[in-house]
Structures are given as structure tokens and as C-alpha cells.
Chains A and B, each alone.
Chain A
């Protein structure tokens, strides 16, 4: 059903990779294989192509789409986290402390989370009615690695859209700083009631979602902690059983091993919760942040449109003046005026496109999120029910044995 499938590297490859790339730039150079299922993407002809992409390739794609398709809520990317030298040292040290397996588990989990996030991203782009037509996407899906490198190197000069720039734009939107460059003192902002309401909704939504996500993440941790406690408890009880001996000892041992078995179930549920509930929530937060970026773009477009309109008006007045005084500068001024007018109309058109697109996108966003969260809730409830049921089963199974020991 999905158009694109993103496969991660097998764990062993990962280590081989780590070793090879260890000393070069970027310790953690994780690559993904991208497989296109051609039946769902009629645009892509030719033999099935499997390309290798890095995280920064995805960032490039996202930035390009953001530039080209203003007004559309570009799907969010999973976080960029630097796994660098500190993490490597951490792994080495934990190896010595016998905890290396846990570390490996954590990093494989991280890889899986990232893979899933990137997979969702690229599929959302490919299934968006506008975005899937993008040339950048086509390039992304089909170019080999050297071409990708080249294209990205070109772009560094032209498009400097770094995350810090986006942050700055957010700040502009929120603090209403007037544009000093154009010399305007009055802040130029859209103030229709519907748009205000929408902005307010988005900003507040982010806060609420962030809080929910925080608790969801903590819940994952609690599952792991409970699993650990159960395991430790089970071991202690087993040792006590060995000391006691007789039927009591046996009962204790049974309890101990049941505890340890349940501990594993808890760890499994923790992982399930992370991937199927916490991640979607985080994704929701990121989506809202992407909308905020679009809001910023809209504000910029509005400002440009307004300023150009102002400038055009001034030029018009000036032109009339020149006409009346039959000045020689009239022709020059008229040419300038026409050009400015064209630009102003262009800016107005751009702005209106953004407004129209945003309205459509809002509808799509709301519907998408209802579906996404519905699924996340379902998975959450399912996982919890499954866990609770298996816990109940396990303990109930133990009861008759304890009864038997009690009566013997």
C-alpha cells in the first residue's frame, strides 16, 4: 500500500559501518536503502532502483520542498541527533561494565526510530497531491549517490536554509519585530479573526501536545523501570527460595521465575509504546512546528505584498507629479512603476496562493491527524491490554501451584 519503503541497514552492517566511518567526518554515518514500489507511483518508470540516502539528504529534500511549495505543510523529519565521539566512548565504557548490550539495544532502537520517521516522511511526500510532482523528489528517489552529493554541494551556496534561520523566522512571527531594512516602523500583519484564531490554535496546540508527549515518553521509561524491578525482585525471591527449600522454596522459585518472565514482557511493551504511541505524538508536535514555519512564510509573504503595494502607491503618486510637471524623468519613472506594479501583483498572487493552500492544508492536516492519533490510541490501548492480559495469565497460572504447595 505504501509507495515507498525505507529499509534500514542490518545491525551487523551498522557496526561495520561504524568501524569504517569511525575516524572520518561524521562518526555515525547511517545510510538507508530506499525502495520504490512502482505500482503505486506511476510517475517512476524504469527498472526498480534502490538508492542509498543519508539523513542530510532527507534534510535537503525537506528544505527544497519548503522553499518551492510555500503554503503547504511539509511533513516533518525526525530529529537530527548527533551521535558522535561521546556516544562512542559511552559504548566503549559500557562494554567494560558489561552493559554494552544495553547500549547496543539503545542505539539499534534509535536507528529503528529514525528509520521509521524517515520512512513516514518520504511516504507522506510521495502521497501528497501536490508534493509528489516535485522534481526534487524525483531526483531524490532516483539519483545515485554522487549526483546527490553534487546537487547538495551546489545548494549550499544558494539555499542557506539552516534550522537556525527557521528559528529566527519563528521569533519574528511571535515577537512582531518590524522590518528595519525597509525602514517601516509599523508592524505589518494580517489580522483577520479566522486567521488569528488559527494561529492561536496552532501555538496552543503545540504546548498541549508537547506536554502529552513528555508524559508519554516518561511512561515508556516507567515500563522499563518496572520491568527492571520485577526482574530484580524475581531474582531475589529465587535466591530466597533456594535458601528455604521444601515446598516453600519451590513456590518462591516459581514466583521468581514468573517475575523474570514478566519483566521481559514489560520491556517489549515499553518498546511498542515508544514506537507506536510516543513517536506518533512526537510526530504530531513536529507537524505543528512545520505549520508554524508555514505561518512564518505567510507572514513574510504578506509583509512583502503589503510593502510592495505601499511602494507602488507612492510611485504612482510620484508618477502623477512627474506627469504634471512634464519632467524628463517621467519615462524612466514610468518603467520603474510598471516593473514595481508587476512585482506587487506577483507578491499578491504569491500571498493569495499561500492563503488558499493553507486553508486546504488545514483541512487535510486535521483529518490526517485524527486518523494518525486514532491509530496511535488504538495501538496504545491494544498494547496495554495485551500486557495486562499476559500479566494476569501468568499470575493466574501460578496460583494452583501455590495452592498445591500450601496444602502439602
Chain B
């Protein structure tokens, strides 16, 4: 009985433990020593993954199916051979499973020092970034509150063979503030692109930093962010990212947030500002007004925006690209549907989780019953019953673990949905860049036309006075200069607007392609996962059904009746669900129409 008891306490402590403990469940119950099961344990790390302890080198081979990965519990182990033979019948799903899940696992493996970028399949360039080793730095300069000036730095290691970078491997230490700076600079330089969103700041920065969990979360978030940046074909080659990853020392702040110089420039007229330094002209104009502190420009653009919205006349330049507007509509729709699927996916994951848990609890209850019957045995048939119960209990516990593994994998696959949902905000920003640029153009066009009309008026007035009006002539000259500058600015603005439009377009195409590929692979992964685990679970139960087949007497008539009742019930239930869904759908769509 010792084995029994050991088993059950082991299983008890595992099954009643926290989520992390659940990941540590030992799959084998016939092997009483936990230490010898090292090779069979799922990863010990908090994120639910099946880590691959033999990771292939990133020789850059593009074809994922050529790798020979192994999920842990497929490995040969000297110990429980019985478990091996029972888990290992190579089936179609298993083969697909292994190669596929490795691919998916490696993409998300936080503990893997090596990460694969999505762009790898097409070319031999790679860029791997990892974030590690958070260290606290104390800033003792001006803190009244002890510890309030301290911050954490993270070691950012990059391995790449991109020509833009000097060298192939290098590291740098950065603090979170610099990540924010990087993100701001990218936003400025890559208007119109779908730039991944940086991790959030925290409202109570100093308080939050005291907790280790938070630091770890932030580390993970920064890593995810940098990986996404590395995935973006344009951004990965950018100066901003290169400097961030390679160059020691503080990052230069983006121009528009250089408050000091702005204030010095002061609140000047828009054209005047443009006149100050002709080399700055295009730069200044192409920055969005709101980013900087140019109050007057802000005011003008706001006035233009209001005129656009409320004025009866059409604005001078309109968003005419029908294709773009259609795409925008579609993206809105897509966002809504994605959000819906994401919600339901969460529910699905929760249900799978619950199923696994309850199955495990049931198994445990039967283990206890088995023990009890054995201890109190008086009659022979009790032994038989105890043996049957033990079978059921073991099967239930195995099935429970399989459900939980299934779930962990499902989470990984369906996470793609969340990624794309997150991207929606980036897309929004890119479209905002476009409309801001359009607004600038519109503003400048209005400026130009108003200047022209003023010049015309003055010239008309001046021509009436014989010999000319010295002051008026000077005014006209000034205005003409202003006009020229404004026209130049307008040209720049138009160019910028077109550039952004082009960026939008190319990014949309890229998004569509990537999304298509990603979703199809997500679907495949999900389906392979479900099929593979269902097969495994079926094996577990088939065996027990075999072993207890002696009990099935001739209950055919009963079966028939219960089968027909079964069909009736399931039909009724399905109909009920369908009806309730249809009504809800009607309600929702009515609501949508109103919106």
C-alpha cells in the first residue's frame, strides 16, 4: 500500500496546488520517485509551456518541419517503459503535433535564449533579442523619500546578421524610460506605419518597482515589445532601433519633445517659424502639431478641423481614396469580430480548464475509495471492485493531466488573436498619422489661399493710389515672401501626406498577408492540438473500457431506449441553444445597426 499512499499524496498535493504546481504534475503514476521523473516533468517555469530541452541550433534552417524537436513526454526514459509504450504509438496527429508544437512553442518560449522572427522563412537574415538580468540602480541625488529615486536596468542582448548593425552579438543596459524614448522616436520617424505598442508605464512607478513580480512582468513585456519591433521589416533596420540596441549611453530625445528649444522659439506665427531656419522647414512641418508645443500651429489646425466639420464648404483637400475608406471599414469590422472570438476563446479555455480539474478531483475521490475498500476488505468481490476503481481513478487522473496540457497549448495558439487585437491600436495610430498629415495640408492650403487674397486686396488698394504707398508696398513684399514660404511648406506637407498614405497602404498589405499566414497557422495548431490530445485521451479510456468490458451484460434494449432519449435530449438542447443564440444575435445586430 505504500506505493498507493505515496501516489495519492503526491497527486493530492499536486492536484490541489496552484496553477504553477499543476504544470509540474508528474505524468507517471507508476514510478514513485519524483526525482527519477526529471525527464518527464513539464517545465518548471510559471508560464504554461512545454519547454524543449533539446533545442536545435539556429542554423537558420527555414523549414520548421525539418527540425527534430521533442515534447518532453515523448522522450525515451529508462524508467517507466510502460508509460512510454502507452503514450507513444506514433500516429498522424502525434507526428504533426510534435513538429508543429515545437514551432509554436519556440515562438513564445520566454526562457529560450533563442527566438525566431517571423520573417525568417523568407530570407537568411535573423535578429534575436533577449532581455534579462534586471538590476536595481539607486539614485541618491535628490530623494526625500528613500528609494524613490531608484530604478531598474535590464540587459538587452542582440544577435543578428543584419548588415546595418556592426557586429553580430552585442548587449546594452537600458532602463524603462529609454524604452519609452525609443517608442516616441519611432512614432515620430515612422508615421503611417503600424508600430507595435510599447509596454505600459505604471502609475505608481516607484511603489510598483518594489515588487519582484512587477519587475519580471516588465522584463517579459519589454522583451515581447523588442521582438515585435525586430519582426517589423522596416523598423528592424531603423537607426532608432539600432542606436537603442547597440550604442551605450542615453538616447537622444526626439525633436518634438525637446521642450526647451520649443519654448525658446516661443509662440510665433507658423510661417515665421518656418522662415527661421530653412533647413528645418520640412522637418518641422512634417511633425504633427500636437506632438510639439507650437501653440499657434495647433490653433490654426484646430480651426481648420472645426471648419472641416462644421463649415458648409468642403475642405480644400479631402480623403478621397475610396479603397482606403473601405479598408478602414473592414478593419473596424475585423476588430469587432476578433474581440468577440477572443472573448469566446477565453471562455473555451476556462471550460477546458474546469473539465481537467473536475476530472482530476473525481480520480482522487476514487483513489480514496479504493484505499478504503482495500483497508476494510471482508469479501472477495471488494477486491475486484477496488481494482476496477483503481483503473478508473488512474484513467481519470491521466485524462485530467492531458486536459490541462491541451489547455496550455490551446492558450498558446489562441494567443495570436490577442496579438492581432493589440495591433488594432497601432493601426489606429497609423491612420491618425494620416489624418493629422491631411489636416496639416488642409491648413496650409487655406493659409496659402488666404494669403493670396490678402495680397490681391492690398495690390488692388495700392494700385488706386498714384505713385504707390510706401508702407503698403513693403507690406505686400512681406506677404509675398510669406506666401512663398507657405507654399513651400504646403508642398512639403503634401509630400509627407502622400508618403504616409503610401506607408499605410504597404502596411495594410503586409498586415493582410501576415495575418492570413498567422491565422491559418493558428487554426492548424489549434486543430492539431485538439486532435492529438483527443486521441491520447481516447486511448486512456479505450483501455479501461476494454478492461471492464466483462460487466456489460445484455443491456441492448435499455441502451436503445437511452440512446433514443439521448438523441431527443441532445436535439432539444441543441435547438434550445440555437434559438437562444439567434435571438441574442438579433438583439446584438439591432444594437449594432443603431450604433
Contact = CB atoms under 8 A, between A and B. Distances in A.
Interface of A: 1, 97-102, 104-105, 108-109, 112, 197-198, 200-201, 204-205, 208-209, 211-212, 214-216, 218-219, 222-223, 225-226, 228-233, 235-237, 239-240, 243-244, 246-248, 251-252, 255, 263-264, 267-268, 271-272, 275-276, 362-363, 366-367, 369-371, 373-375, 377-382, 384-385, 388-389, 391-392, 395-396, 398-399, 402-403, 405-406
Instruction: State the majority secondary structure of interface residues on A.
Output: helix
A28 to B, nearest CB: 19
Interface in B557-581: 562, 565-570, 572-577, 579-581
Give the size category of B's interface with A. Answer: 35 or more
Contacts of B376: 197, 200-201, 204
A247 B515 CA distance: 12
16 contacts: A101-B572, A204-B376, A218-B361, A222-B358, A235-B581, A239-B340, A267-B573, A268-B566, A268-B567, A268-B570, A271-B566, A370-B388, A374-B551, A381-B541, A392-B534, A395-B528
Given A369-B385, A370-B384, A215 B358 contact: yes
Contact of B340 (A109, A200, A236, A382): A236
Interface in B525-560: 526-528, 530-531, 534-535, 537-538, 541-542, 544-545, 548-555
A252 B519 contact: yes
B455 to A, nearest CB: 53
A120 to B, nearest CB: 10
Contact of A229 (B350, B389, B537, B575): B350
Given A101-B576, A373-B389, A212 B366 contact: yes
A281 B75 CA distance: 39
A236 B344 CA distance: 7
A97 B378 CA distance: 55
Contacts of B341: 233, 236-237, 239-240
Contacts of B352: 226, 229
B348 A230 contact: yes
Q: Which 3 pairs across A and B sit closest by C-beta, in order of nearness?
A: A101-B576, A388-B538, A374-B551
Contacts of A263: 574, 577
B548 A381 contact: yes
Interface stretch (B65-73, B78-86, B107-115, B330-338): B330-338
A231 B537 contact: no
B457 interface: no
Given A374-B550, A391-B534, A246 B344 contact: no
Contacts of A276: 562
Given A108-B568, A388-B535, A405 B520 contact: yes
Contact of B580 (A98, A236, A403, A406): A98
Nearest to B543: A381
Contact of A233 (B347, B355, B361, B362): B347
Nearest to A372: B551
Given A98-B583, A375-B552, A384-B399, A395 B523 contact: no
A240 B338 contact: yes
A183 B499 CA distance: 105
Nearest to B347: A229
Contact of B570 (A226, A267, A379): A267
A81 B531 CA distance: 41
Interface in B390-448: 391-392, 395, 399
B549 A251 contact: no
Interface string B482-500: 0000000000000000000
Given A268-B570, A271-B566, 12 more contacts: A98-B579, A100-B576, A204-B376, A214-B365, A225-B355, A229-B344, A229-B351, A230-B348, A236-B340, A374-B388, A378-B548, A396-B92
